[in-house]
Chain A
Amino acid sequence: MPLVLLRAPLSELAGGREHALEGATVLEALLALESTCPPVSGWVLDERRAIRPHVNIYVNGQLAREETAVGEADRVHVLPAITGG
């Protein structure tokens, strides 16, 4: 199963930095994260189940979207975008 890797504050909400989760796509893995760690709900995905505009998802170092396929041993990094002011 893919490994979802979080940084603060998400890691604090989820109770840890690394989470092995079921899912064949990024969206499925993130929904599994919300199901396993309810305090994260709404932080990465919005109401429409879309990745928030200033959150970047990388799968094995490649920028990914909701529909990106993930598989066994894939590393899914959830990172804040380098934006803001």
Chain B
Amino acid sequence: MTELLVGTKKGLFVLDGDVGTGFDVTARAFPGQSVEYAMRDPRSGRYLASVTSWFYGGRIWVTDDPAGEWQEAEGTVLPEDGDASLARIWVIAAGEADGMLYAGGDPGCLFESHDGGLTWALNRGLWDHPTRPDWTPGGGGLCLHTIVPWPGDPDRLMVAISAVGVWLTDDRGATWRYSNSGIVPEYAPEEARDMPIGHCVHNVRRAGGQPERLFMQFHGGVYRSDDSGASWIDVGDGTDLPSDFGFPIVVDPADPDSAYVIPLIGAEDRTTPGGTVLVWETRDAGASWAPRGNGLPERDAYLTVLREAFDSAGAGTGLELYFGATSGELFGSGDAGANWAPVAAHLPPVYSVRTA
């Protein structure tokens, strides 16, 4: 039995089931409000959701029972003497220290919690970075959307911001450095492509069992780093991938050479190529990619899968994969992508999918 937390344009949906027998919606929360992201802290069992009211702004809510009462978390606000207000929280991630959680938001802000998500404080190291005046938003805003801890080491963290790039810290967020070496932003003029920041990273995951390796879905290109994010190499160019554009990326925790992407026709369209839905897999660290689509729509299916709407559970041959689309459809695989089945067909537009 797997629990899925599905953030949608019209609330949070909790689904329970498995790919073989199907899933049921077991809870819904925040009807009518955008739930950008929801996750369950594996240490405490607590659920956390980023909820944005069209009217009253964005905030984090927590609960121990998603079908019960939710409590508003405190502290996800920007400095009162500044000129910015919080647009939304994009992502929440468990840290490595006890009770530590991170939340990333727009405009390019990182919040930290030391009490399991009840109270939060702005990370000033990143907020006050001297390059901030040069940061520019991507299509989704100036969103800090990716948070990648280093297993076992709470001092080290990687985050990514669109359209700014990768940021690394080795001192628990006191100081930050950008790290976009090797990433080629082809959307920029040729003479500007070696710019230190301005990179529209879409999503990054750390390889299982090999923490210095990371896989990235970029705005144009799939990249890998083998040196903890210090430099990046293109592992999509020249392969069979039908497009270098996409949003999410997922890895198999049992295989550091694995990654899964869902290519979309580039920035001008952002739908599944040719009306065929395919997940693409590498098992050789990006040297080659192969489609995995048995059971997925083969024709007339023009889906958009957003950056947080793809996740996994388990590992190895039993790796479960789940993704949702803005069409409201949700698909799952229980055998590492070899076969797929519908999980839900008629949800509101899906913003995020996380296994709990």
A interface, CB within 8 angstroms of B: 9-10, 39, 42-44, 46-50, 52, 54-55, 80-81, 83-85
Asked if B54 and A42 sit within 8 Å, CB to CB, the answer is: no
Q: Decide if B83 is an interface residue (CB 8 Å cutoff).
A: yes
What 1/0 mask marks residues of chain B from 75 to 96 whose CB sits below 8 Å from any chain A CB? 0011110111110000000000
Residues of A within 8 A of B72 (CB): 39
Choose one: A9, A46, A54; the contact of B85 (CB below 8 Å): A46
Q: How far is the CA of A54 from the CA of B56 in the complex (A)?
A: 8
Asked if B57 and A42 sit within 8 Å, CB to CB, the answer is: yes
Asked if B80 and A52 sit within 8 Å, CB to CB, the answer is: no
Asked if A80 and B59 sit within 8 Å, CB to CB, the answer is: no
Choose one: A39, A43, A84; the contact of B54 (CB below 8 Å): A84
Least CB distance from A47 to B in Å reads 5
Residues of A within 8 A of B55 (CB): 52, 54-55, 80-81, 84
Choose one: B54, B56, B59, B84; the contact of A47 (CB below 8 Å): B84
Least CB separation from A39: chain B residue: B72
- List 26 contacting pairs A-B, 8 Å CB cutoff, sorted by A: A39-B72, A42-B57, A42-B59, A42-B77, A44-B56, A46-B57, A46-B86, A47-B77, A47-B78, A47-B79, A47-B80, A47-B85, A47-B86, A48-B82, A48-B83, A48-B84, A49-B80, A50-B85, A52-B55, A52-B56, A52-B57, A54-B54, A55-B55, A55-B56, A80-B55, A85-B54
List the count of A-B residue pairs having beta carbons below 8 Å apart: 43
Q: How far is the CA of A58 from the CA of B56 in the complex (A)?
A: 17
A-B complex: 9 closest residue pairs judged by Cβ atoms: A46-B85, A80-B55, A43-B56, A84-B54, A54-B55, A47-B78, A47-B85, A47-B77, A47-B80
Majority-rule SS of A interface residues: loop
Least CB distance from A64 to B in Å reads 17
B interface, CB within 8 angstroms of A: 9, 54-57, 59, 72, 77-80, 82-86
Q: How far is the CA of A30 from the CA of B59 in the complex (A)?
A: 20
Least CB distance from B119 to A in Å reads 14
Residues of B within 8 A of A48 (CB): 80, 82-85
Asked if A43 and B57 sit within 8 Å, CB to CB, the answer is: yes
Residues of B within 8 A of A80 (CB): 54-56
Residues of A within 8 A of B82 (CB): 47-48
Sample of 20 more A-B contacts, CB < 8 Å, known A54-B54, A80-B54: A10-B56, A42-B57, A42-B59, A43-B56, A43-B57, A46-B57, A47-B77, A47-B78, A47-B80, A48-B80, A48-B83, A48-B84, A50-B85, A52-B55, A55-B56, A80-B55, A83-B54, A84-B54, A84-B55, A85-B9
Q: How far is the CA of A48 from the CA of B87 in the complex (A)?
A: 13
Residues of B within 8 A of A49 (CB): 80
Least CB separation from B86: chain A residue: A47
Least CB separation from A44: chain B residue: B56
Residues of A within 8 A of B77 (CB): 42, 47
Least CB distance from A50 to B in Å reads 7
